[in-house]
Amino acid sequence: MLTLPALIMLAASVVMVLIHAAGAYLGFRGLTVPRGIGVYVSIYESLYYLSLTTLMLSILPIWLTVLVIIMLITHLIGTYMYLRGYLASYASPSSLRYYGVYESFELAIILAIITYMVL
């Protein structure tokens, strides 16, 4: 039986799957989400990893815990850079294809998190 924090994180993880499936799809096509949406997405992702770190690390294996902490640091820095407009200069179609690869990798991490939550 899942605890309330685990259920909340499971629901938040499903939202993350949708975000990253869309991000990978757009990235592989050299596109990005409009900034008006991207601001909220970047904040949501940082809050997701912060919440996951505080609520769920005890149920995850070490290798996944390490990845979650790396993703937390990456997203906190990335959110700051995105909100300040520093990442706009990297938004070319060719670099966004690499971003699609990153989004796919992150999607795999989120699916692993979900797997460990429900098992």
Q: Give pLDDT tens digits for 31-41.
A: 999 999 999 99
Chain centre distance of CA 11: 14
The pLDDT value recorded for residue 74 is 98
- Sign, CA torsion 49/55/60/65: positive
pTM equals 0.94
User: How far from each other are the two terminal CA atoms of the chain, in whole angstroms?
Assistant: 10
Number of domains in the chain: 1
* Residues of the domain holding 12: 4-118
Length of the chain: 119
**Parts of the chain with a pLDDT under 50:** none
